Amino acid sequence: MDNPLTLEPLFHAGPVPITAPVLVTWAILIGLALGCRIATRRLSLTPGRLQVVLELFVTVVDDQIRDTMQRPPARYRPLIGTIFLYVLIANWSSLVPGIEPPTARLETDAALALIVFAATVWFGIAAQGLRGYLKTFAEPTWVMIPLNLIEQVSRTLSLVVRLFGNVMSGVFVIGIVLTLAGLLVPIPLMALDLLTGAVQAYIFAVLATVFIGAAVGEHSPSPETAKDLPQ
Amino acid sequence: MSIDWWTLGLQAVNVLVLLWILSRFLFRPVSDIIAARQAAATQDLDAAQATRAEAEAALAAAQEQLAGVAATRAQMLAEARSEADRSRDQLLSEARAEVEKLRTAAQADRLHRQQEASHAMHAEAAELAVDIARRLLDRLPATARVAGFIDGLAEAVARLPERTRAGIGAEGPVPLRAAAEMSGDEADHLRERLARVTGHPVALAVTTDPTLIAGLELDAPHAVVRNHFRADLDRIRQELLKND
């Protein structure tokens, strides 16, 4: 088995090395784009089954954002919904034989965490202004500024490490079991991996919501609520 | 441990592209259709609420109108009852008055008829009595039907005023009606008695009138002196009828 921390390019597009996570992500991207285009082409006030599922998904995302941030969800819905959907499908892509989930690679998780970090800063400044956002680092006192800066970095790193560790370990365990016990034994572990993938997608999306909510203002809940979530 | 920065950058770009795609083709249309449905539901609810308000207002108006109709009906019933009572009382009073009037008229008519009947009966009785008396007196002899009344006639003339008495026979023969034909003695006796009471001789123009039954009637210029049964019976009959 390859070292999970090393990534070999499959081919090069000019100077750019194209690795497996990028390729899988493109496949997910194309699949989601086509699926959404087809699914939302004929929306109506009297929904069909597929439309009901889509509306349920959007409604659940909205409710989650509204409950966590105490704000109208429209502005944050695309980011949170995209993160959840991408992480979920990426995690579950391990079910396809020969496919390694992109989230089992550090680069993908880091990219996601960086996007969340950038969104936190962007929405924080948009909501409170640059000065107001920077002031939040001096709360409750200026003494906390170093700690708050470290917190910004550490919670971003925790996002990366949490997702990477859980997904990579699942893939790694299933690979080991497959080499040791043959065909049927890994099935329960794969089912568990599905559950773990869904939970990790939910955790990543909720943590992103909490971080953005903490950045945008007083009405949002404290980041302390993140501690209640499973690690 | 090494990080492939190209992969990291590409994955970040990929996620951002996916973010744009999902935002464009999933979240926006779905949230739009949800909002449209909510707007339609709100509109339907508003319309239903407006309709309900209109219905409630119409119901309230109908109830108010019904109450007004009931009040008007009660008032009209009361007025009709009062009017009926008044009409009944008026009709009753009119009927009573009419009955009383009819009863009074009937009573008066009955009394009148009774009086008429009584009067007729008395008249008939009087006629009958007179007729009986006349028939009975017809049986008297002719001399008795004149001679017995000569003194009475003379006394009646004597009771006349002096001036009236003086005028009797002054202008010629005095008409004298006798119930029966007078004899010469009876005529002489009468002239003698009249000459005594008047103080001068009286010429008589004697005529016979059986309707007198018995007696004489002197027709002086200013007085009529009667002494006969016919006048007595007429007086008796008048008295009888007057007493009725």
Tens-place pLDDT, residues B4-41:
899 999 999 999 999 999 999 999 999 999 999 999 99
So what's the pLDDT on residue B123?
A: 75
**In which domain, by residue range, is A100 found?**
9-228
**Tokens describing residue B85:** 């009572």
From chain B, the residues in CB contact with A9 under 8 A are: 4
Tens-place pLDDT, residues A19-49:
999 999 999 999 999 999 998 888 888 888 9
CB A189 within 8 A of CB A177: yes
Q: Which residues of B touch A (CB under 8 A)?
A: 1-12, 14-19, 21-23, 25-34, 36-37, 40
A51 touches chain B (CB under 8 A): yes
Distance CA A130, CA A151 (A): 19
So what's the pLDDT on residue B90?
A: 87
Tens-place pLDDT, residues B98-142:
888 888 888 888 888 888 887 778 778 777 877 787 788 777 777
A56 touches chain B (CB under 8 A): no
Q: Verify whether the Cβ–Cβ distance A114 to B12 is below 8 Å.
A: yes
Q: Verify whether the Cβ–Cβ distance B19 to A111 is below 8 Å.
A: no
Asked, for residue A66, whether it belongs to a domain, the answer is: yes
The label of the residue with tokens 């006394």 reads B155
Q: Verify whether the Cβ–Cβ distance B6 to A45 is below 8 Å.
A: no
Q: Verify whether the Cβ–Cβ distance A19 to B4 is below 8 Å.
A: yes
Q: Verify whether the Cβ–Cβ distance B25 to A29 is below 8 Å.
A: no
Residue type, B228: H
Asked, for residue A134, whether it belongs to a domain, the answer is: yes
Q: Verify whether the Cβ–Cβ distance B31 to A25 is below 8 Å.
A: no
Distance CA B57, CA B47 (A): 15
Over chain A, what is the mean pLDDT? 86
Asked, for residue A3, whether it belongs to a domain, the answer is: no
Q: Give the burial string for A160-176 (b: 16+ CB within 10 Å, else e).
A: bebbbebbbebbeebbe
Asked, for residue A2, whether it belongs to a domain, the answer is: no
Kindly indicate the confidence band of residue A3, based on its pLDDT and cuts at 50, 70 and 90: low
Question: How far does A151 lie from chain B, in Å, by closest CA?
Answer: 22
Question: How far does A227 lie from chain B, in Å, by closest CA?
Answer: 26
Question: Torsion over CA of B169, B171, B173 and B174, rounded to 10 degrees?
Answer: -60
**Cα within 13 Å of Cα(B37), Cβ side:** 13
SS3 category, A151: helix
Lowest mean pLDDT segment, chosen from A34-38, A107-111, B35-39, B178-182: B178-182
Number of A:B CB contacts under 8 A?
122
- With CA atoms as reference, the chain A residue closest to B27 would be A78
Q: In this structure, what DSSP letter does residue B169 have? A: T
**Tokens describing residue B12:** 């970040």
Kindly indicate the confidence band of residue B53, based on its pLDDT and cuts at 50, 70 and 90: very high
Question: How far does B41 lie from chain A, in Å, by closest CA?
Answer: 10
- CA Rg value for chain A: 20
- Which fold, B140-243? hypothetical protein PF0899 fold (3.30.2320)
From chain A, the residues in CB contact with B27 under 8 A are: 58, 77-78, 81
Minimum-distance CB partner of B11 among A9, A22, A78: A22
**In chain B, domain spans:** 1-101, 140-243
Residue type, A95: L
Q: Is the pTM of this model over 0.80?
A: no
Chain B interface, mutation test: which of A42, A93, A107, A167, most B Cβ atoms within 10 Å?
A: A107
Could you say which residues from 155 to 194 on chain A have a Cβ atom under 8 Å away from some Cβ of chain B?
none
Residue B62 — φ and ψ, nearest 5°?
Answer: -65, -40
ipTM: 0.88
Q: Write the CA distances from A162 to A171, A173, B24, B176, integer angstroms.
A: 14, 16, 30, 180
